[in-house]
Amino acid sequence: MPADQNKKNGYKNKKNIKTRIIGILVILVIIIGTVTISHFSSLEPEIEYPEIKQGAYLEIGNSSNFTDYGLLGNGSLENPYIIENLTISNYEQGISIWNIIENVTIRNCIMTNNIVGINIHGVESSVIKIFNCTIESQWQLSDGIELWSSNEQIAGNIILINNTIDVDNNALKIPGGRRSKVNSTILENQFINGYISVAGQVNARIYNNIFVQGGVSTYLTPYIHIENNSFENGTIFVSDSDLIEIRNNSFIRGGISFFYIKENQLENCIVEYNYVNKREIKIFRNLNNTEIIDMNFGEIILFDCENTKIKDNSITHASVGISIHHSKNITLENNQLTENYEYGIVLLDSDSCEIINNEFKFCERVGIVLQNTNNTQIVNNTFIENKCHGIYLVNSFDCLIYNNHFIDNNIVCKKQAYDSNGNNYWYNPGTKKGNYWSDWSGIGSYRINNYKEHPKDLYPLRNSPYGKRKMCLGEWMAITLLPPIMLIAYFRRMRIINKFGKQ
């Protein structure tokens, strides 16, 4: 009896040990997965935000408020009301001015960690001058200065001189109404980490400013004059705007980007003598049967062109290396687009183009963007470690994409390409050869959008001249740690079996 009991206990112990070993292996796999996820998570420490006080520190909504606050002046052009030498922190709005007709000067104020530094709304014909002020905020989506108007209210004439604004979102936000107008003059300011965002019926003159990690964004504006500004890691975005003058601006890593421009909309626009990294930003219009080969341009922009070849150009640290608008039969061949601030090549509203043998490396966003662009071939291009997708297609049809090499693009566990409609071929139907994807499993097709249905590359290539992709931390740990762990578990199991088998 004792021997039988010992034997039963031995089998029971062996079963418990086996269960524990399996449990340990499961826990290790979970830990490895957790480490992999945390490897891609943000390592920045959380910011402890102060408590925000509701409303505005100083709010002026009618004429009597000026005397309520004891402000100097009488509101005329010669003797405006003066708001000066204030230090304002942790409010929804530092200063709020609305529905007045008086003229106001705001000067020598310091505003920190407010959601909005200065808010101006519906001040009609007033002249508001803001100069020598510092506005800083660590709040996410915080704005420096907001100039609001509605369809019936006018934000007036705004003059900004020699201010420093360092916020998370908009340094200056001017959303003009459809029938109202905002006249603004912006001179010799320093804008850090934020954009001047201008939309609607706004006439703006932006001269001699310094932008660091920011720029200017325009949308549906009748007149914008941007001249003699300095941009570091910044861009001028022009979207659906008519009369634009952009002159003598210099960029260090950035440039000029046009989006949603209607055909022939830029006929009255002047864009000249702008440079990125000391190389000219060149705009071509109405070219036909022309070649742009091995030119030393900082950016190349085409509008309304046909039968044009862009070849053997090297563009780096631009906003968009090459952009094509409302054009046909454009060939882009053997160009190198490296470390561009936004995109490598963008084609908008253009058809029947060829993108062949180009190289896209380390762009901050996407290698190639096609929007409303049809019947285009993308062949023999290489995409290496662009932060987002290698290719991004939006409302583009009947495109043929094959024999391209996608190496470690969009590495945060997402696909390396995107196709919004799926009516494109991601392989050559004749040769049945697709593209090389560094994250392909090696079995079956490659899903472009990570969906079960179309689009797919049905014939992914197995080999690339650029070699295999680099392993992420989780894969390295799985390959290097799991085999010895499993061997240890196996030998321990055999030792236990042998031990109890002898009893």
Note the pLDDT tens digit of each residue in 342-365: 999 999 999 999 999 999 999 999
Asked if pLDDT for residue 240 goes beyond 90, the answer is no
Gap between the Cα atoms of 406 and 400, Å rounded: 16
The reported pLDDT for the residue numbered 269 is 86
Count of C-beta atoms within a 10 Å radius of residue 19: 10
Asked if pLDDT for residue 178 goes beyond 80, the answer is no
Gap between the Cα atoms of 54 and 402, Å rounded: 57
Query: What value does the CA radius of gyration of the chain take, rounded to a whole number of Å?
Result: 30
Tell me what the mean pLDDT of segment 399-403 comes to: 98
Q: Which parts of 350-472 fold into alpha helices (H)? A: none
Gap between the Cα atoms of 480 and 388, Å rounded: 29
Phi, psi of 11 (to 5 degrees): -65, -35
Helix (H) or strand (E) holding 499: helix 473-502
More confident residue, 25 or 54: 54
Bridge partners of 447, per DSSP, are 456
The reported pLDDT for the residue numbered 203 is 81
Phi, psi of 281 (to 5 degrees): -85, 110
Which two tokens mark 386?
């662009």
Count of C-beta atoms within a 10 Å radius of residue 427: 22
Among 107, 102, 109, 110, smallest CA distance to 73 is for 102
Note the pLDDT tens digit of each residue in 270-320: 999 999 999 999 999 999 999 999 999 999 999 999 999 999 999 999 999
Alpha carbon of 205 to those of 159, 184, 343: distances in Å?
10, 6, 28
The reported pLDDT for the residue numbered 228 is 98
Bridge partners of 130, per DSSP, are 106, 160
Asked if pLDDT for residue 41 goes beyond 60, the answer is no
Name the 3-class secondary structure at 68.
Answer: helix
Note the pLDDT tens digit of each residue in 313-348: 999 999 999 999 999 999 999 999 999 999 999 999
Cis peptide, bond prior to residue 455, ω within 30 of zero? yes
Burial class (CB in 10 A: 0-12, 13-18, 19+), 302: buried
Determine what percent of the chain falls in helix, strand and coil, rounding each to the nearest 5.
Answer: 15, 45, 40
Note the pLDDT tens digit of each residue in 149-161: 654 445 568 899 9
Note the pLDDT tens digit of each residue in 85-96: 999 999 999 999
CA neighbours closer than 13 Å in the CB half-sphere of residue 483: 4
Asked if pLDDT for residue 39 goes beyond 60, the answer is no
* Mean residue pLDDT across the chain: 86
Least confident among 345-354, 454-463, 478-487: 478-487
Q: Are 333 and 308 in contact (CB under 8 A)?
A: no
Specify the pTM.
Answer: 0.81
Gap between the Cα atoms of 404 and 387, Å rounded: 17
* Domain ranges within the chain, ordered by starting residue: 52-228, 471-503
The reported pLDDT for the residue numbered 273 is 98
Out of 196-200, 264-268, 352-356, 462-466, the most confident range is 352-356
Q: How confident is the model at residue 122 (pLDDT cuts 50, 70, 90)?
A: confident
